[in-house]
Amino acid sequence: MSLAENLALVFIAGLVTALATGIGALPFFFVDEFSDRWNVGLWGTASGIMLTVSVFGLVDEGLAYASGEIPTLMVGGLFAGVLLVEVSDRVLDVVDFAGDRDGGERPVQTDGAGHDHDEVALEARAFAEGDLKKLVLILGILTVHSFPEGVAVGVSFAELGLDGGLAILGFSVPLLAVFMTVAISIHNIPEGTAIAIPMRAMGLSNWRMVGAAVFSSLPQPIGAVIAFVFVSWAESFLPFGYGFAAGAMVYLVLTEFIPEALETGTDLPSHGYRELAAGLAIGVTAMLPILLV
């Protein structure tokens, strides 16, 4: 397969994860509210899948390609992935989301999980008003936020075309790539719901909510292609690439996904811990037997 065909496949995989975000808005076609219990469980399932794929997939692959007793490149990649997520969060913290239509300012409020409620509200207002300038700004912000997830998808395709993968559309697709695409897609569903909630309150149409949710993840296919090109052209840096993706994903799960799930479940009888644990168990159980084959 040519490089262009490989890039197209990786882009499509990243696009699938972006489109999955729109699924989170679909329940509003049928119901007015989305169950917190279901949302927490889904966050937990996505976290379990992503932790399992990262540790037993990405890290394992990185160790296989590492040379020497100490996998220096992979360990460096792990720290670089964590650093990217942390720097991204700090960049988002200093961005002014607070400017409203009247030119006023108000403090930026975060939810403690790395997600900025004003960021979501700003996106809702931009779509409601059709403000192109504001949407371009938001896309830049989302690129910082979503890039690590796209990188994980791209790196997981490093062995694209080699024997041992699944035959999909004439390609030999690595199992790890399939699992990572599924993991990111499942994670994006509750994110899409979180984006749609303020838009429903503002009276936006159902399809505009779906479009806004997909828009929020558009940087992911771009990040996937960039990461795939990097690991394809610099094979000696594969351990770094696998470590980078694993570090970013594990750090995202621990500092964003799980805290987000617990905040969503604050009003549940168990404060969301029971639903989160059940979701984590489902995610790990679903992926671990397959990855260890």
Q: What is the pLDDT of residue 131?
A: 57
- 153-162, 241-250, 266-275: least confident range: 153-162
Q: Where are the domains of the chain?
A: 3-291
Residue 47 pLDDT exceeds 50: yes
Pick the more confident residue, 156 or 117.
156
Residue 156 pLDDT exceeds 50: yes
Residue 277 pLDDT exceeds 90: yes
Q: What is the pLDDT of residue 139?
A: 60
Q: What is the pLDDT of residue 11?
A: 92
Rounded to two decimals, what is the model's pTM?
0.71
End-to-end CA distance of the chain: 27
